[in-house]
Structure 1
Amino acid sequence: RLCVSVRDYYCYMLQTRPGIFNPILCGARLLQQWGVDMYIKIESCRLKWYRKNQTKIRADLYKGVVDAITSGETRASAVGVRIVLPGTYPG
């Protein structure tokens, strides 16, 4: 690949290497906070990809507007835009 994903980069940063000091791994509680922050960054990148690539995951097969109208919603401003996530997405 030409580009490195965010996940691959942070996995690279967390590796231990003999003879090379890694300050990230010696951070104790700061390491935990860094790990949480990087997890949030990775998940936001994944969600951004799903938002921008709805045609690739065939989101048009899900009739969101028709579902909203059949549930009783009549105002178009309240319907909004539906973002479809795949079944493999956790949470």
Structure 2
Amino acid sequence: MFPTGCDGWHLGLNKTDNKKQTAAGFYKSRLQIHHEDFNIVFKEKKLTQQYAVDQWVKVEAGRLDCVRRNIKTLRAEKYQGRMDAVQAGDVNDVGVKVILPSTI
């Protein structure tokens, strides 16, 4: 699909403004239609569908890995909040609000 061997997304990839490029942002850009540029991705028909699915899986795996890496921290904070509430005698406000990514 990429005969010149152009790179895909990888850790440490930077945007033009030197900020980190996320996998989701990179593939959103890659899968947009740019009328002024030739985009090989849209010329490959069924291979385009497989490419989009493969990249979606890569992005979701990264998001799940992030939650998996931070779950111990989230659990520790939640447990400590419960212990503090029990010791203070205020069991009505037990728990910690945890906001997971919208894709989970």
Task: Give TM-score, length-normalised by structure 1.
Answer: 0.61
Q: How many residues align?
A: 67
1:45 maps to amino acid: G
1:86 maps to amino acid: L
Q: Is residue 50 of structure 2 the alignment partner of residue 19 of structure 1?
A: no
Q: CA deviation at 1:14?
A: 1.0
Match of 1:86 in 2: 100
Structure 1 unaligned spans of 5+? 63-84
2:48 maps to amino acid: L
Q: Supply the RMSD in Å over aligned alpha carbons.
A: 2.5
The structure number with the bigger radius of gyration is 2
Moved over 6 A (4+): none
The correspondence of residues 1-91 of structure 1 with structure 2, limited to 5 A, is 2-54=19-71, 55=73, 58-60=74-76, 61=78, 86=100, 88-90=102-104
Gap change, CA 1:59 and 1:24, over 3 Å in 2: same
Task: Give TM-score, length-normalised by structure 2.
Answer: 0.54
Task: Name the SS for the 1:46 alignment partner.
Answer: helix
Higher relative contact order (CA 8 A, sep 6+): 1
